[in-house]
Structure 1
Amino acid sequence: MVAVEAAARPSRRLALLMAARDSEYVLKKYGGYLHVFVAAFGGAGEAWDLYRAIDGELPAPGDLGGYDGFVISGSPHDAYGDEPWILRLCLLVRELHAMRKRVLGVCFGHQVICRALGGRVGRARGGWDVGVREVDIADALPPCRFLDALRGRGQLPRRAKITEVHQDEVWEVPEGAEVLASSDKTGVEMFRVGEHVLGIQGHPEYTKDILLSLVDRLVTAGSITVSFAEVVKRQLEATAPDREFWLKLCKSFLKADEDKVCK
Structure 2
Amino acid sequence: MKIGILQTGHAPDNLRPDLGDYDDMFRKLLHDQGFTFETWNVVDMEFPGDVTDADGWLITGSKHGAYEDHPWIAPLEAFIRDAIEHAVPVVGICFGHQIVAQALGGKVVKFPGGWAVGRQDYDFGGAHLPLNAWHQDQVITPPEGARTIASNDFCAHAALVYGDRALTIQPHPEFGPDFIEGLIHTRGKGVVPQELLDKAESTLDQPLASDIIADQIADFLRKERSA
Bucket of the pairwise TM-score, normalised by the shorter protein: over 0.9
Which residue number in structure 1 is paired with residue 181 of structure 2? Answer: 212
Note the C-alpha offset of 1:226. Answer: 3.8
- In the alignment, structure 2 segments of 5+ residues that lack a partner are none
Note the C-alpha offset of 1:117. Answer: 0.5
- In the alignment, structure 1 segments of 5+ residues that lack a partner are 1-11, 139-156
Which residue number in structure 2 is paired with residue 234 of structure 1? Answer: 202
CA deviation map 1:51-83 (0-9, x unaligned)? 11111111012xx22311100000000011221
Deviating above 4 A after TM superposition, structure 1's stretches of 4 or more consecutive aligned residues are: none
1:46 aligns with 2:35: yes
3-state SS of paired residue (1:84)? coil
For 1:33, the aligned partner's letter is Y
Q: Report the RMSD for the aligned CA atoms in angstroms.
A: 1.8
CA distance in 1, matches of 2:167, 2:182: 27
Q: Kindly tell me: are residues 26 and 101 of structure 1, through their superposed partners in 2, closer, same or farther at Cα, counting changes over 3 Å?
A: farther
The 5 A counterparts of 1:64-79 are 64-79=51-66
1:251 aligns with 2:218: yes
Note the C-alpha offset of 1:255. Answer: 1.9
CA deviation map 1:228-253 (0-9, x unaligned)? 3222111324x332122111111111
Alpha-carbon contact 1:179-1:190 (below 8 Å) kept: yes
CA distance in 1, matches of 2:152, 2:52: 36
For 1:255, the aligned partner's letter is R
The 5 A counterparts of 1:51-130 are 51-61=40-50, 64-130=51-117
Which residue number in structure 2 is paired with residue 5 of structure 1? Answer: none
User: What percent identity do the matched residue pairs reach?
Assistant: 28
Q: Kindly tell me: are residues 83 and 24 of structure 1, through their superposed partners in 2, closer, same or farther at Cα, counting changes over 3 Å?
A: closer
Note the C-alpha offset of 1:44. Answer: 5.8
Q: Normalized against structure 1, the TM-score is what?
A: 0.81
CA deviation map 1:92-148 (0-9, x unaligned)? 11111111110000000000000001111111131011011111123xxxxxxxxxx
Which residue number in structure 1 is paired with residue 3 of structure 2? Answer: 14
CA distance in 2, matches of 1:113, 1:44: 24
Note the C-alpha offset of 1:45. Answer: 4.8
Q: Of Structure 1 and Structure 2, which has the larger fraction of its residues in helix? A: 1
Alpha-carbon contact 2:26-2:174 (below 8 Å) kept: yes
For 1:49, the aligned partner's letter is E
For 2:201, the aligned partner's letter is K
Alpha-carbon contact 1:51-1:59 (below 8 Å) kept: yes
Alpha-carbon contact 2:29-2:211 (below 8 Å) kept: no
Number of equivalent positions = 227
Alpha-carbon contact 1:42-1:251 (below 8 Å) kept: no
